[in-house]
Amino acid sequence: MPQKKIYLLRAGFNGSKFQINDKLKDEINKIYKLGLELAQPKAVCDTYKIEAIPTELIPKSFQGVKSITFFVSTLGYEIDNYISNANTLSSMLMDAWASEAIEAFNESIDKKLRKDFGKGTRRFSPGYSDIDVRKNWDIVSNLLKTEIVVVNKDTGIITPRKSTVCMIGWYDE
């Protein structure tokens, strides 16, 4: 899960602009612990030979890869419910915590995959560079065939909101 310093930076506390009093420190700690309780991290991944992948799902930067692992990760709906229903401060803190938590979760998946597969590309998500965010639907529905998240086919937006679709290309067979 996320380092507290990174969580606080995401929430806008950089140490030089804000003084954190005891009451705020208690709320920060409460949200951190609550995030750990509410998070239900899940991931689904699969690896495909490059020939089996539609070309519109292959980033140009993946040139020369022999296979690609696609994965979807989520912290689940409880985090979303909390963010939607909490007071402004608690909601903002939980949103920051969850953003860093999903990144920490993805980083752990990334490390495991690299240990198993060796040299690979950077981790990539649709919506950046040359892969349209609407391709999230194709990846989740057609490749991974999972229901741990829901993707809006028209927009590519994923729910729960603290979820991601990622891919890593591999150079070795």
Q: What is the pLDDT of residue 5?
A: 76
CA pair distance 104, 110, nearest whole angstrom: 10
Residue 44 pairs in a beta bridge with 72
**Averages of pLDDT over each 10 residues, the chain, 173 residues:** 77 66 88 96 97 96 96 97 96 95 97 95 92 97 97 97 97 84
Q: What is the pLDDT of residue 17?
A: 52
Sorted by where each starts, the structural domains of the chain and their CATH numbers stand as: 4-170 (3.40.109.40)
Q: How many CA atoms, within 13 angstroms, populate the side-chain half-sphere of residue 9?
A: 6
Q: Which residues have a Cβ under 8 Å from the Cβ of 169 and sit 6 or more positions away?
A: 58, 59, 62, 65, 67, 68, 120, 121, 124
Q: What is the pLDDT of residue 21?
A: 79
Sign of CA dihedral 111, 113, 116, 118: negative
Q: What is the DSSP letter of 161?
A: S
